[in-house]
């Protein structure tokens, strides 16, 4: 379908903008400054997370790094405006920059780089006679997939240097990294483009039809809105809320420098105290108090809040019941939870994904009709025309399957892997951020766990089992930094600045490409100069290593299908259907199915207590002060977000300059 689009060029010079149908365009200075700050974001996030290690400022769905950078821009804004010309940024330009550094922070962290680059050499460096990784994995790897030569045994210099650092006189073997970087970049960009297509298709349904709140968007939008007496940054309650975490993290940071300074602990590991049956059956349980999480959760509807913390405790209650009856409690592979609860969430995910698509069927029918040319869809205000988004989504999936087939994965297994990734896991996690405002996206199963319900893992064959840990490591096991949520948040932000959404494609595209180049080079340079084993343990000795080790055990084990998993899958699916029906049929029903789906994810393991605190405070405020008091108190809770995330960036800079140990922040 041909789209008639009029493009007009505004003022010449650095502030030139392009405008078209449906909103204002993008200024050249916003793009240029955005690219500069993308580079700074990549370096800041990478150094803080890998070298300083105690501050993870890039993997949340609203990365603390970009909040700190945004605060810096807003504070300097008056001075910059006085200079005028190139530096006279307006709110729209600041939010364009925000969207660029949002995707840059995610890519520099768990969204991509911390998962994919160590994978190119992990199987070679950690292979030994005991685990036989060379015999199990290397014969099935194409040479263009990894940075070492899979036909040769032993630790090769490209791998040793990456993990242990270069010897004197050695140079980084960039040439050996070039081929796998190019190959995997093609696959990664296909997945990212599929996310862009999904965001273009879902935006109208979630933003306009269902009017989801998108809590993570509210703070940056209010921070940069035009100046005035009611501006958020002029509100004393905002700075009062920000002062609270600022004092706490200042004390905790000073305590690390001088132990005589008092410390305020923000986390407790409860399993240390639950050592008697049946309480010792609880897999992992801790309390983390996050001011930022309380601030975001305060913005949510009370029934969503209640469901999040209630089902997190309900999952632990199931562990206690299972321990009381002496059940044979098995662990879910890779994830920190028990198998019977994890498979309940598998059923919940599938039902929720189906429910979301069913609820959107009038909108999706128009998208499909537009894609097949049966009607002209009203997509002039979307980032991508509906035909491009529809065929781009399924075309990307087809090319992803082709890529993995060339790598050696069977097409059926590839369809399972990436079909579940896109249309179940990513869809539900994006909904959890858009509706429930969760700061962290993490699931509790892999697509192969669905296969295990019906057939033994060994039936997949050695070739598939050798390759699956590579795709699980990059796309499935670790979901923090999911770019789909960033795309949807960015499109929601475009509403507030009345930007033509077609231009958001350039904003995201430039941010992604620049971040992949800058962060990719830095994530190779840093380990070769400092030694990966001296950097953040989770990245270089954890994530990829654990996934590959798990598949090693499954390649050796001819265990039958997990019929127990199938039973609990059906329990979870049936219960989610019940929750969904009750929520749609009765307005007073207090349980939201999203809470059940997320109940044993790392997300709720970390944030359940903060959610409980926010729920108690909000219920109290609404009961005794009503909506008027809620609106009045809102800046205080936004300030708590600003204070905690701002202190994370400040301590990252202090630690980088002085080498002092930063305080621990309550989102591990």
Q: What is the pLDDT of residues 600-644, one digit of tens each?
A: 999 999 999 999 999 999 999 999 999 999 999 999 999 999 999
- The pLDDT score that the predictor gives to residue 87 is 57
In-domain check, residue 8: no
Segment among 86-95, 423-432, 633-642 with least mean pLDDT: 86-95
Peptide bond into 53 cis (omega under 30): no
End-to-end CA distance of the chain: 47
pLDDT over threshold 90, residue 4: no
- The pLDDT score that the predictor gives to residue 331 is 86
- The pLDDT score that the predictor gives to residue 556 is 79
**What tokens does 267 get?**
């986390």
Q: What angle do CA 527, 64, 27 make, to 5 degrees?
A: 95
Q: How confident is the model at residue 64 (pLDDT cuts 50, 70, 90)?
A: very high
What is d(CA 100, CA 506) in angstroms, rounded to the nearest whole number? Answer: 10
In-domain check, residue 180: yes
**447, HSE (Cβ side, Cα atoms, 13 Å):** 24
**Beta strand pairing call for 8-9 and 18-19:** antiparallel
- The pLDDT score that the predictor gives to residue 328 is 76
- The pLDDT score that the predictor gives to residue 375 is 81
What is d(CA 249, CA 265) in angstroms, rounded to the nearest whole number? Answer: 10
In-domain check, residue 17: no
- The pLDDT score that the predictor gives to residue 560 is 67
In-domain check, residue 228: yes
- The pLDDT score that the predictor gives to residue 24 is 63
pLDDT over threshold 70, residue 53: yes
| Burial environment of residue 631 by CB neighbours within 10 A (0 to 12, 13 to 18, 19 or more) | exposed
For the residues 490-504, what does the mean pLDDT come to?
A: 87
Give the structural domain span for 457: 24-658
What is d(CA 536, CA 25) in angstroms, rounded to the nearest whole number? Answer: 41
Contact 664, 267 (CB under 8 A): yes
Task: Estimate the crossing angle of helix 483-496 against helix 215-223, to 10 degrees.
Answer: 50
User: Structural domain tally of the chain?
Assistant: 1
In-domain check, residue 386: yes
Q: 186-191: long-range contacts (C-beta < 8 A, 24 or more apart)?
A: 186/403, 187/400, 187/403, 187/404, 188/112, 188/116, 188/474, 188/516, 189/512, 190/396, 190/399, 190/400, 190/403, 191/396, 191/400, 191/418, 191/421, 191/422, 191/475
For the residues 259-268, what does the mean pLDDT come to?
A: 94
In-domain check, residue 411: yes
Helix, strand, coil percentages, rounded to 5, for the chain: 70, 5, 30
What is d(CA 476, CA 104) in angstroms, rounded to the nearest whole number? Answer: 20
Task: Estimate the crossing angle of helix 361-371 against helix 386-407, to 10 degrees.
Answer: 80
- The pLDDT score that the predictor gives to residue 129 is 93
What is d(CA 185, CA 179) in angstroms, rounded to the nearest whole number? Answer: 10
Contact 69, 645 (CB under 8 A): no
In-domain check, residue 13: no
Contact 141, 466 (CB under 8 A): yes
- The pLDDT score that the predictor gives to residue 356 is 96
Closest CA to 599 of 570, 572, 577: 572
Closest CA to 337 of 603, 611, 59, 666: 603
SS (H, E, C) 23-44: EECCEHHHHHHHHHHHHHHHHH
What is d(CA 189, CA 257) in angstroms, rounded to the nearest whole number? Answer: 43
With pLDDT > 90 as the criterion, what percentage of the chain qualifies? 78
pLDDT over threshold 70, residue 218: yes
Strand extents, DSSP E, 373-514: none
In-domain check, residue 11: no
**What tokens does 596 get?**
């059940």
Q: What angle do CA 155, 156, 158 make, to 5 degrees?
A: 125
DSSP per position, 183-220: HHHHHHHHHHHHHHHHHHHHHIIIIIIS----HHHHHH
**How does the average pLDDT of the chain come out, rounded?**
91
- Ranges of H-type helices in 264-385: 291-297, 302-324, 339-359, 361-371
- The pLDDT score that the predictor gives to residue 79 is 63
What is d(CA 612, CA 314) in angstroms, rounded to the nearest whole number? Answer: 13
| Residues comprising the chain, all counted | 668
**What tokens does 356 get?**
């979301």
pLDDT over threshold 60, residue 10: no
């Amino acid at each position: 379908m041909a789209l008639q689009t009029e493009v007009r060029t505004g003022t010449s010079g650095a502030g030139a903008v392009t405008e078209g149908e449906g909103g204002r365009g993008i200024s050249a200075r916003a793009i240029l400054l955005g690219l500069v700050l993308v580079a700074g974001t990549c370096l800041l996030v990478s150094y803080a997370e890998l070298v300083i290690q105690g501050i993870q400022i890039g993997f949340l769905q609203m990365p603390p790094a970009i909040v700190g950078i945004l605060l810096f821009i807003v504070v300097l804004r008056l001075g910059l405006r006085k200079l005028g010309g190139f530096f006279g940024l307006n709110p729209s330009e600041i939010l364009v920059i925000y969207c660029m550094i949002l995707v840059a922070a995610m890519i520099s962290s768990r969204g991509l780089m911390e998962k994919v680059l160590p994978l190119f050499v992990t199987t070679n460096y950690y292979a030994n006679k005991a685990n036989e990784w060379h015999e199990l994995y290397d014969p099935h790897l194409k040479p263009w997939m990894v940075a070492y030569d899979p036909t040769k045994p032993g630790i090769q210099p490209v791998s040793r240097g990456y993990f242990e650092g270069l010897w004197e006189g050695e140079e980084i073997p960039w040439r050996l990294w070039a081929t796998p970087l190019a190959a995997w970049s093609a696959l990664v960009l296909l997945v990212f483009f599929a996310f862009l297509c999904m965001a273009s298709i879902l935006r109208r349904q979630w933003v306009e039809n269902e009017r989801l709140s998108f809590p993570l968007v509210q703070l940056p939008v209010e921070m940069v809105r035009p100046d005035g007496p009611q501006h958020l940054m002029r509100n004393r309650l905002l700075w009062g809320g920000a002062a609270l975490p600022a004092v706490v993290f200042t004390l905790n940071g000073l305590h690390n420098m001088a132990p005589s300074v008092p410390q305020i602990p923000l986390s407790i590991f409860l399993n240390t105290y639950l050592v008697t049956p049946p309480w010792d059956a609880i897999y992992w349980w801790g309390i983390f108090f996050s001011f930022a999480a309380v601030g975001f959760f305060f913005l949510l509807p009370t029934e969503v809040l209640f469901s999040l913390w209630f089902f997190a405790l309900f999952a632990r209650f199931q562990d206690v019941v299972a321990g009381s009856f002496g059940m044979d409690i098995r662990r879910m592979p890779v994830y920190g939870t028990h198998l019977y609860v994890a498979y309940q969430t598998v059923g919940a995910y599938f039902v929720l994904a189906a429910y979301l698509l069913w609820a959107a069927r009038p909108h999706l029918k128009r998208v499909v009709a537009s894609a097949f040319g049966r009607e002209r869809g009203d997509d002039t205000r979307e980032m991508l025309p509906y035909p491009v988004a529809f065929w781009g989504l399924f075309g990307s999936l087809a090319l992803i399957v082709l890529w993995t087939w060339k790598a050696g994965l069977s097409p059926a297994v590839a369809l399972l892997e990436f079909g579940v990734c896109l249309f179940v896991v990513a869809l539900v996690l994006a909904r959890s951020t858009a509706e429930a405002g969760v700061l962290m996206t993490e699931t509790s199963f892999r697509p192969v766990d669905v296969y295990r319900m019906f057939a033994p893992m060994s039936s997949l064959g050695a070739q598939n089992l050798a390759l699956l840990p590579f795709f699980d490591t990059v796309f499935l096991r670790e979901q923090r930094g999911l770019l789909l949520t960033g795309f949807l948040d960015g499109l929601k932000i475009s509403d507030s600045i009345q930007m033509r959404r077609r231009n958001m494609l350039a904003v995201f595209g430039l941010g992604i490409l620049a971040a992949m180049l800058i962060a990719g080079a830095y994530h190779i340079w840093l380990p070769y100069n400092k030694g990966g084993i001296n950097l953040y343990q989770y990245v270089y000795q954890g994530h990829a290593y654990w996934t590959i080790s798990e598949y090693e055990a499954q390649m050796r084990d001819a265990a039958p299908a997990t019929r127990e998993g199938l039973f609990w899958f059906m329990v979870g699916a049936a219960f989610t259907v019940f929750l969904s029906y009750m929520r749609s049929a009765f307005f007073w029903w207090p349980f939201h199915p999203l809470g059940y789906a997320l109940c044993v994810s790392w997300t709720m393991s970390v944030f359940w207590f903060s959610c409980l605190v926010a729920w108690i405070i909000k219920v109290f405020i609404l009961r005794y002060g009503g909506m008027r008091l809620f609106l009045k108190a809102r800046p205080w809770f936004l300030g708590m977000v600003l204070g905690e995330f701002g202190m994370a960036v400040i301590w990252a800079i202090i630690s980088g300059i002085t080498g002092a140990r930063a305080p621990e922040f309550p989102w591990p």
